[in-house]
Amino acid sequence: MEPRFNALYKLLRQTAETIILPRFKNLDSGEIEEKSPGDRVTIADKQAEHHLIAGLKAMGTDALFLGEESTAENPKLLELVGQSNTPYWVLDPIDGTQNFIEGKTTFCTMIALVQQGLPVLSMIYFPLTDTLFAAELGRGAFRFEKGGEGHRLSAGKSPDLFNMSGALNTHYTDEELTERLNLIADRVEKLKSERCAGVEYSLIAQGKKDFANFHRMLPWDHVPGTLLLNEAGGMVRDVDTNLFYRPSTLKGNFILARDMKAWERLQSVVRR
């Protein structure tokens, strides 16, 4: 593993080994709470976030912290996304918490460093397989297996629309937007939602999936993956405004795509 990623990888792996994996398929009912209707959190989420923050502080970082669970307890932390002069770490201790609770394998841990309003470093870590996806602004995206040598990622060229595979996520969309997005279903080959943003981003960045959509763009769900996908040659862009995703953008009609052609083909289906 490249030295610039090694310390963060070790922190992610240690967090998984000591906190996350011991509770996989081993949660008591009292260790699961509901933050809001349909949005659950576990003791593993909370403890993992605390452990990650402590580990980052021990590395001497002078950045602030924007964690999913910390923000649930103190919503004012979300104001960090509007402060472009303040560096901060974005943390999602368990992305795909519902999958984790149900004993499914599609969950991960995500972190990213934001400087001057843009992500400059990000990691998506899959504890069950010890697989790390890492990206650095302007230096590419990589996949590492078990701490070994990395392989550079390329999302590659997308197929024609009718041969595409992707995901439609309409849980948070209104009726009008849902109807437009559903037009995609009649024009592509395969749809499958992983219910985990980190999984979607990593699949598209490897060229194993062509697209996904999201409306609610909370930073811990999308900042890490956006940098990974951008560095692999893909894009995250709003099909209504044509704007690229930024950490300060909290909602929109965003489509993740392997390349510009895929995004344009999808936009032609759903635009107003």
pLDDT digits (tens, 9 = 90+) for 89-130: 999 999 999 999 999 999 999 999 999 999 999 999 999 999
Residue 161, token pair as written in the block: 């629309």
Q: Does 134 share its domain with 234?
A: no
**Does the structure show a pLDDT above 90 at 182?**
yes
Q: Does 21 share its domain with 123?
A: yes
Section 208-219 average pLDDT: 97
Kindly report the number of other CB atoms within 10 A of residue 216's CB atom: 15
Q: Please tell me the predicted confidence (pLDDT) of residue 227.
A: 98
Which of the residue ranges 20-24, 124-128, 170-174 would you say has the lowest mean pLDDT?
170-174
> CA-CA distance, 104 to 35, in Å (whole number)?
21
Q: Does 65 share its domain with 83?
A: yes
> CA-CA distance, 176 to 236, in Å (whole number)?
21
**Does the structure show a pLDDT above 90 at 207?**
yes
**Does the structure show a pLDDT above 90 at 1?**
no
| Confidence class for position 272, pLDDT limits 50, 70, 90 | confident
Residue 80, token pair as written in the block: 């960090």
Backbone φ, ψ for residue 137 (5° rounding): -55, 120
Q: Does 138 share its domain with 13?
A: yes
pLDDT in tens, 28-72: 999 999 988 888 999 999 999 999 999 999 999 999 999 999 999
Kindly provide the b/e burial profile for residues 70-101, where b requires at least 16 CB atoms within 10 angstroms of the residue's own CB.
bbbeeeebeebbeeeeebbbbbbbbbbbbbbb
- Through-space distance between the first and last CA atoms of the chain, rounded to whole angstroms: 46
**Does the structure show a pLDDT above 90 at 4?**
no
Q: Does 80 share its domain with 131?
A: yes
Q: Please tell me the predicted confidence (pLDDT) of residue 190.
A: 96
Give the CATH number of the domain where residue 221 resides. Answer: 3.40.190.80
Task: Specify the residue for token string 């452990």.
Answer: 51
Q: Please tell me the predicted confidence (pLDDT) of residue 231.
A: 98
> CA-CA distance, 226 to 254, in Å (whole number)?
11
Q: Which of 190, 206, 186 is nearest to 198 (CA)?
A: 206
Q: State pTM to two decimals.
A: 0.97
Q: Which domain holds residue 60?
A: 3-152
Mean pLDDT of the chain: 96
Q: Does 144 share its domain with 21?
A: yes
Q: In what order do the strands lie in the sheet with 211-216?
A: 190-191, 165-167, 211-216, 251-257, 235-238
> CA-CA distance, 187 to 268, in Å (whole number)?
11
Instruction: Give the rounded percent of residues in the chain with a pLDDT score beyond 90.
Output: 95
Q: Please tell me the predicted confidence (pLDDT) of residue 244.
A: 97
> CA-CA distance, 7 to 16, in Å (whole number)?
14
| Confidence class for position 2, pLDDT limits 50, 70, 90 | confident
Q: Does 25 share its domain with 84?
A: yes
Q: Please tell me the predicted confidence (pLDDT) of residue 30.
A: 93
Q: What is the DSSP letter of 244?
A: B
3-state secondary structure of 192: coil
Q: Does 175 share its domain with 262?
A: yes
Q: Does 40 share its domain with 101?
A: yes
Q: Please tell me the predicted confidence (pLDDT) of residue 38.
A: 80
**Does the structure show a pLDDT above 90 at 191?**
yes
Q: State the chain's maximal CA–CA distance in angstroms.
A: 51
Section 197-209 average pLDDT: 98
| Confidence class for position 7, pLDDT limits 50, 70, 90 | very high
Kindly report the number of other CB atoms within 10 A of residue 159's CB atom: 16
Total structural domains within the chain: 2
